A and B are shown apart, each in its own frame.
Chain A
Amino acid sequence: ILNVEQSPQSLHVQEGDSTNFTCSFPSSNFYALHWYRWETAKSPEALFVMTLNGDEKKKGRISATLNTKEGYSYLYIKGSQPEDSATYLCALRYGQNFVFGPGTRLSALP
């Protein structure tokens, strides 16, 4: 069974701090890597989809990179705000199926 890992499991940052976390996976053929933002009691919200080695995506203060050769993706948040508090999931997509990581829970404190 493919294992997708995320680190750290959780972290607390102060408002205004920049932060990043990691999704790591065994190098293998997969269709795409997805990042989701999941607030409590809400639906996971799609952030990014990346497919190619070296892909970089950006959405406002959040960006992500993909390194398929070494098996990792980074998610960066610049200038954290309290509304960034959520669990950030990464998932590898094989065909129609996803393999999810356990998530990184971010608390951005005012």
Chain B
Amino acid sequence: GAVVSQHPSWVICKSGTSVKIECRSLDFQATTMFWYRQFPKQSLMLMATSNEGSKATYEQGVEKDKFLINHASLTLSTLTVTSAHPEDSSFYICSASQSPPAGIPLYGYTFGSGTRLTVV
């Protein structure tokens, strides 16, 4: 089945540094990538949606200059947390979708395994 590889699985960084998280689709072309974050005891919240070759669309309240998303190829999308601060400590997870096959209304979304970011 479809697999999305997300790295790193956890990272600890100093306040003020930048951290890059990668999501790779291993056996399919991810035309759309979704980035979510989850704070403790809360739901996954969509941060942004990116389509390959286009600028990402950010949800209200998510700073596009702080959370840089690159989706330059059909198999790789990256999220860079710039100038990270302790309040950015969270669980970040990506989800990729393929182009829907013709005539099939529902198509799969495949998640990465997530990245736990701790900013100290």
Mark out the residues of chain B between 87 and 101 whose CB falls within 8 Å of any chain A CB in the assembled complex: 95, 97
B-chain residues with CB within 8 Å of residue A46 when the two chains form the complex = 108-109
Which residues does A use to contact B, with CB under 8 Å?
A: 4, 32, 34, 36, 41-44, 46, 49, 51, 89, 91, 96-103
Cβ of A25 to closest chain B Cβ, rounded Å = 12
Contacts A43-B113, A46-B109, A51-B106 supplied; 4 other A-B pairs, CB < 8 Å: A41-B113, A46-B108, A96-B97, A98-B46
Which residues does B use to contact A, with CB under 8 Å?
A: 4, 6, 9, 32, 34, 36, 41-46, 49, 95, 97, 106, 108-114
B-chain residues with CB within 8 Å of residue A44 when the two chains form the complex = 111
| Complex contact B9–A41 (CB within 8 A) | yes
A-chain residues with CB within 8 Å of residue B95 when the two chains form the complex = 98
B-chain residues with CB within 8 Å of residue A34 when the two chains form the complex = 109
Indicate the member of B9, B34, B43, B108 with the most A CB atoms within 10 Å.
Answer: B43
